[in-house]
Each structure stands twice: as C-alpha cells, then as structure tokens.
Amino acid sequence: MKILMCTDGSRQASEALRFGSLIASDVRQQVTILGVIEHPDEERKVTRMVERVSNALCQEVPHVETRIRHGHAAEEILKETEENEYDLVVVGSRGRRGITRFILGSTAARLTRYCPVSVIIVKGKARGLNRILVCTGGAEAGEKDTEMAGRIGALTGASVTILHVMSQLPLSPECELDDLACAPESLLDTDAREAVHLRKDLRILENLRVPSVAQVRHGLVVDEILAEAREGDYDLIVTGAHVASGILRFMLTDTTEQIVLGSDRPVLVVR
C-alpha cells in the first residue's frame, strides 16, 4: 500500500499525520509525506512538520519520501495524486462549515469529490485505531469498502463493524416489511438482498482474519451512521465515494460528503 500523507502546517494536519502514522508504521511499502505551502510565511512551519514526521516514521518504515509543493492545498494534493501512484491519501480537515466553507471551500470536500484514490479525512483528535466502522449500502460496490477496511484492520489489528442502515418506509399499510425493526442476527438469517451482502462482507473480513461483526440500524441513513460512530466510539468510518456521474450527479444526494461533514472523527472515502 502506497500512502500519501499531507500537511499544510495546520494543527489538524498534524493530527492527520499522527493518524496516518498509525497505518503507515505497519506498511512495508512506500510512504510519501507531502507538505503544501499555501502562504510564503508558512514555509518554515510546513517544512519542519514534514521533517519531524519523516524522521519519526523512518525508524519503522523502510521507504519514506518527502515532497514540498506551493499552492492551494486541495489542488496540489490532487496534482500529486495524478502525477504519482498512491493507494491512500491522508489529510486533515479544518472543519469549516456554513458561510466560511461556502466562501473558502474545503480541502476535505474537494478531495472527497475529486481525489482519484481512497482518502482519509482526519477530523477531531486522532486517538488510535482500534475500531473501524464500514458503512455499506448493501450492494457490490460496498465490498470494495469492506476490503479496504479489512486491509487496514489487518495492518493495525483493529476490529471492523459492517453497518447497514435500513431506511425504507412502508408506503402502504399492506406492505410486509418485517425487517423494518429487525436486529442484525435475524436479518443475517434471511435471503434478503442486504443480508446476502452483509454475509459476503463478513466472509471478506474473515479471510483477512480481521475480527468483525454486522450491525443494522433503522432510520435516516446519515444520521444513523453518525450515531453509530459516536455510540460505538469508532476510530474510523469507512464509506464509498459518491460515484454518480452526468445527470445523476445532480439528482442524487452526496451522502459521503454529508458523512464527512457531519463526522467528528476520521472518515475513509474508498474509491
């Protein structure tokens, strides 16, 4: 796994480097630390941060490379991922919201949308990596997310929970929606589409020898994912990227961006 860890010298970027190090320290491949200097007066701060993290990682990871770029953080990170091959990008999020985010844009939001590889948006304090929450929509696309979470789990020893949120609504009183209130155990015993995928996901993790469980919640998708992350005290939320293109991009809600915006902990967006 080739990891690109990014910093713009901010406090949240140092949290991102700390979180990235949790994964990178177990990776036996290449780690690149990219410092992006947005303003000339930040040069010293960014360079020092890159050097410090590089020195710390060098003791555990055989191939650590450092790079410095000048310009807008999101644009420079995107250029770096286009020019070189990476499996995972790790960045921090300053958590701009409302009007600030509207005016300045968000590096995290841009990367969530346009980064060609999987990206971890580190929000809040990077505490450790013991529990991973994978959000699956109950379809083939979700298996990629599970695989990625499994690989990270296998590297770090973290356990993985596969979460599916049932948000269907009985539009007619005649609807037989027994699974509207069902627990994961009873759902897994059925032939329902979601159950088939949950079982598949659990098998993927079993093959990677990662301790795993399935979880089912009922309600609004984004709200339930964030509630589960909080209540289960997870260290990382894993979700698929918003893949809609063309007219569908305008028609579909970007739940991934909503999760990234609403979360108070790191989120891995899988591509």
Partner 1 sequence: MRRVNWKKIGLAVVSIALFVLAIQLMKEAAGAVAPYVRGWLHVDNAANSLGFGWLSAYVIMSGSPVAAVALAFFDAGTIGQFEALTMISGSRLGASFIVLFIGLIYVLRGHERLTGLSMGLLSFIITAFLHVPGLGISYVLLANNVTDPIRLGGGGTLTSVLDLLYGPIVEFVMQNAPGWLTFLIGAVLVLLSFNLIDRSLPQLHLESSQFSAISRVVYRPMVMFLMGLVITALSMSVSISLSLLVPLSARGYIKTENAIAYVMGANVSTFVDTLFVALLLNNPAATEVVLVQMISISIVSLFVLSLLYGPFERLVLNITSRTVRSTRNLAIFAAAILITPLILLLV
Q: Which secondary-structure segment (H or E) carries 133?
A: strand 131-135
Interaction between residue 213 and partner 1 (CB under 8 A): no
Q: What's the min distance (Å) between Cβ of 107 and partner 1?
A: 24
Using CB under 8 A, which of the segments 83-91, 109-117, 121-129, 245-253 binds partner 1? 245-253
Among 128, 170, 211, 232, which residue sits at the site for partner 1 (rule: CB under 8 A)? Answer: 170
Interaction between residue 166 and partner 1 (CB under 8 A): yes
Q: Residue holding tokens 């891995």?
A: 268
Q: How many CA atoms lie within 13 A of 243 on its CB side?
A: 10
Q: Which secondary-structure segment (H or E) carries 132?
A: strand 131-135
Using CB under 8 A, which of the segments 29-37, 95-103, 145-153, 170-178 binds partner 1? 170-178
| Pick from 32, 255, 8, 249: nearest CA to 142 | 255
Tokens of 29: 């491949």
Interaction between residue 99 and partner 1 (CB under 8 A): no
Q: What's the min distance (Å) between Cβ of 168 and partner 1?
A: 4
What are the φ/ψ torsions at residue 65 (nearest 5 degrees)?
A: -120, 150
Q: What's the min distance (Å) between Cβ of 221 and partner 1?
A: 6
Q: What's the min distance (Å) between Cβ of 256 and partner 1?
A: 11
On whether the CB atoms of residues 121 and 44 are closer than 8 A, the answer is no
Residue number with CB closer to partner 1 (196 or 213): 196
Q: Measured between alpha carbons, how far is 148 from 271 in angstroms, rounded to an integer?
A: 9
Residue number with CB closer to partner 1 (170 or 232): 170
Interaction between residue 139 and partner 1 (CB under 8 A): yes
Give the x-and-dash track for 187-206 against partner 1 (CB under 8 A).
-----xxx------------
Among 113, 137, 147, 215, which residue sits at the site for partner 1 (rule: CB under 8 A)? Answer: 137
On whether the CB atoms of residues 200 and 134 are closer than 8 A, the answer is no
Residue number with CB closer to partner 1 (62 or 219): 219
Longest Cα separation, the chain: 67
CA Rg value for the chain: 19
Q: Residue holding tokens 């990891």?
A: 3
Contacts with partner 1, residue ranges (CB under 8 A):
137-139, 141, 166-177, 179-181, 192-194, 219-221, 223, 244, 250-253, 255
